[in-house]
């Protein structure tokens, strides 16, 4: 599976009852993600990619932003 | 620096109240929780308060509070570590511990304060706190204050929780935090299974039983009794301001934990102790529960069912819960406020929840018909609800 699909699946896994998740989905506006949802998403990303996330993911706005950050970390 | 700018930032968004013509917050209440509650001078049916057992205005409880005031005055004007630790306080700690079946208890001015102070006292940066995604703000704020790693799990989802526990063996201590009854939903946590998972992974369970104490269990002793959890080795908190009809918060657990909190939990040590009237009031409520719980609970459940039926007949979408709470799914905050307003206009006081009290767009209107209401009042409320749905 490519990195984009892995991210989308991780996000879907922790957002029950939400609309479709795509790379362009905005976390707040489209997926109605609040601060706890965001923590859950980042935890799921940590598990999926086996890394520790600190502050550097605080400003992600869309699903694609997560992919970009991961790529910047060498994934 | 500009103080004018500072004040400008303190802006309250009242647009929702303007659009719906209704602000459910800080309503002026001019009576106690009687058969009818006076709100802004109007008689209302109280389906809003957490007076589950209807004991907030019970004459025996009032009398106990009055006697305590006569003996001790209204306050000891000191924290529990100083002059606030009167014999009533100590006795109530023992009573509460034995009521919930745990070794020791400490009493704080509120459960908000208990939940706020607990984590920074017991957890640190090497620890992990795993928490149900829907827990109360007091737990979230307390957990954030501990400065440790936080991982929320999906509401009541044991698979998600276990997955996290499996991957979390590198922490000094993992805590698993949840509530017994989720008050905006009326759902009940599968806490026995959560405790078993904690045993399996060496994690420390922490439960907030604010809406379970005095409500759940064969004799009202809360979630541990309800789910037959014996030899509980975790930590337990609860509000004394809901079914127990007074105010305050308790933390219970093993002696070692409570002894530690008594010296190191600043939210306890530096805050004026609960007043004599309240301490005596809680004790009187416990006495009543011991004798009368079965009858009171029967009423509470039958009222809950009656309101549930009325909501369904009125065409409302109700969350399926096991607690004596009816929670209407209203989604957007506008619809939530508007239902609250329509109920209010017909003489029913409800509790609307919008974000951040609930996740975005998962608004709820909660109705609790306490056992203190008369059957006639509940019939009337049910009738109003049905007609409201039909209109
Ligand atoms: C689940 C839960 N925990 C804690 C609290 C806070 O309790 P208290 O009112 O005693 O501060 C509440 C009350 O609103 C609650 O619903």
CB atoms within 10 A of CB B306: 18
- Mutation probe of ligand 1 site: the residue of B48, B109, B112, B247 with most atoms within 8 A of C-beta: B112
A75: pLDDT strictly greater than 90:
no
What percent of chain B clears pLDDT 90, i.e. is strictly above it?
94
Of A32, A40, A47, the CB nearest to B133: A40
Give the residue on B whose Cα is nearest the Cα of A29: B360
Cβ contact, residue pair A37, B359, below 8 Å: yes
Q: CATH 3.40.640.10 residue ranges in chain B?
A: 75-274
Ligand 1 contact, B110 CB (< 6 A): yes
Give residue limits of the domains in chain A: 3-72
A23: pLDDT strictly greater than 90:
yes
Ligand 1 contact, B132 CB (< 6 A): no
Of B154, B167, B356, the CB nearest to A34: B356
Q: CATH 3.90.1150.10 residue ranges in chain B?
A: 10-57+292-390
- Mutation probe of ligand 1 site: the residue of B138, B185, B209 with most atoms within 8 A of C-beta: B138
Suggest the residue from A43, A44, A46, A50 to mutate for an interface test with chain B (most B CBs closer than 10 A).
A43
Q: In the CATH hierarchy, which fold is given to the domain comprising B75-274?
A: 3.40.640
A69, A2 Cβ separation under 8 angstroms: no
Contacts of A50 in chain B (CB under 8 A): none
Which whole number is the average pLDDT over B348-376?
Answer: 94
Distance, CA of B377 to chain centre: 24
B35, B19 Cβ separation under 8 angstroms: no
Write the DSSP assignment of B218-270 as a string of letters.
TTS--HHHHTT--S--SEEEEESSSTT-S--EEEEE-HHHHHHHHHH-HHHHT
A16: pLDDT strictly greater than 80:
no
Strand-pairing partners, residue A48, are: none
Q: Band of the pLDDT at B356, cuts 50, 70, 90? A: confident
The interface predicted TM-score of the complex, written ipTM, equals: 0.88
- Describe the strand order of the beta sheet including B326-331 as a list of residue ranges: B326-331, B363-367, B351-353
B46, B349 Cβ separation under 8 angstroms: yes
d(CA B301, CA B5): 52
Work out the angle between the directed axes of helices B255-264 and B111-122 (0-180°, nearest 10): 100
B391: pLDDT strictly greater than 80:
no
Please state which of the ranges B182-186, B304-308, B349-353, B364-368 shows the lowest mean pLDDT.
B182-186
A15: pLDDT strictly greater than 90:
no
* CB proximity list for B109: less than 8 A, separation 6 or greater: B247, B248, B249, B271, B272, B273, B274
Going B378 to B246 to B211 to B40, the CA torsion angle's sign is positive
Looking at chain B, how many residues does it have?
Answer: 391
Q: Band of the pLDDT at B120, cuts 50, 70, 90? A: very high
H or E stretch at B119: helix B111-122
d(CA B51, CA B246): 9
Ligand 1 contact, B210 CB (< 6 A): yes
What is the per-residue pLDDT across B265-285, written as a single tens digit (0 to 9) for each? Answer: 999 999 999 999 999 999 999
Which whole number is the average pLDDT over B57-77?
Answer: 98
Ligand 1 contact, B336 CB (< 6 A): no
Of A32, A36, A47, the CB nearest to B133: A36
pLDDT for B20 equals 87
pTM of the model: 0.95
B390: pLDDT strictly greater than 80:
no
Which whole number is the average pLDDT over A47-67?
Answer: 89
What CATH superfamily classification does A3-72 receive? ACP-like (1.10.1200.10)
Q: Band of the pLDDT at B47, cuts 50, 70, 90? A: very high
Q: Band of the pLDDT at A1, cuts 50, 70, 90? A: confident
Q: In the CATH hierarchy, which fold is given to the domain comprising B10-57+292-390?
A: 3.90.1150
């Amino acid at each position: 599976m490519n990195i984009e699909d892995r991210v989308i699946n991780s996000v879907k896994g922790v957002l029950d009852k939400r609309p479709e998740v795509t790379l362009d989905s905005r976390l707040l506006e489209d997926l109605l993600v609040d601060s706890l949802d965001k923590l859950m998403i980042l935890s799921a990303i940590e598990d999926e990619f086996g890394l520790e996330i600190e502050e550097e993911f605080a400003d992600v706005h869309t699903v694609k932003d997560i992919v970009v950050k991961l790529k910047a970390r060498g994934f | 620096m500009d103080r004018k700018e500072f004040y400008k930032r303190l802006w309250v968004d009242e647009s929702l109240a303007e659009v719906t013509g209704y602000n459910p917050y800080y309503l002026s209440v001019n009576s106690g929780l009687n058969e009818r509650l006076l709100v802004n001078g109007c008689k209302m049916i109280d389906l809003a308060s957490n007076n589950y057992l209807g004991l907030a205005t019970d004459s025996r409880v009032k009398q106990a509070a009055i006697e305590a005031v006569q003996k001790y005055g209204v306050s000891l004007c000191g924290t529990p570590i100083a002059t606030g630790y009167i014999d009533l306080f100590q006795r109530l700690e023992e009573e509460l511990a034995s009521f919930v079946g745990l070794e020791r208890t400490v009493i704080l001015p509120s459960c908000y304060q208990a939940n706020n102070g607990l984590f920074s006292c017991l957890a640190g940066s090497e620890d992990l706190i795993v928490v149900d995604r829907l827990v109360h703000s007091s737990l979230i704020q307390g957990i954030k204050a501990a400065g440790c790693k936080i991982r929320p799990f999906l509401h009541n989802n044991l698979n998600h929780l276990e997955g996290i526990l499996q991957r979390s063996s590198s922490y000094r201590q993992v805590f698993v935090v949840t509530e017994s009854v989720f008050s905006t939903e009326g759902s009940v946590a599968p806490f026995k299974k959560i405790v078993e998972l904690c045993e399996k992974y060496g994690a420390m369970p922490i439960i907030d039983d604010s809406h379970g104490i005095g409500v759940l269990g064969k004799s009202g002793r809360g979630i541990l009794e309800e789910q037959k959890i014996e030899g509980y080795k975790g930590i337990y908190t609860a509000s004394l301001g809901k079914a127990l009809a007074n105010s305050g918060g308790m933390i219970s657990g093993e002696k070692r934990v409570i002894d530690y909190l008594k010296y190191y939990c600043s939210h306890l040590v530096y805050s004026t102790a609960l007043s004599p009237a309240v301490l005596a009031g809680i004790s009187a409520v416990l006495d009543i529960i011991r004798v009368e719980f079965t009858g009171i609970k029967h009423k509470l459940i039958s009222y809950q069912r009656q309101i549930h039926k009325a909501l369904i007949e009125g065409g409302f979408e109700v969350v399926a819960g096991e607690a004596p709470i009816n929670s209407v799914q209203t989604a957007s905050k506008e619809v939530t406020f508007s239902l609250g307003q329509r109920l209010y206009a017909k003489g029913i006081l409800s509790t609307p929840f919008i974000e951040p009290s609930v996740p975005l767009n998962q608004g709820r209107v909660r109705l609790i018909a306490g056992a203190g209401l008369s059957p006639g009042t509940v019939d009337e409320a049910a009738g109003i609800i049905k007609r409201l749905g039909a209109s």
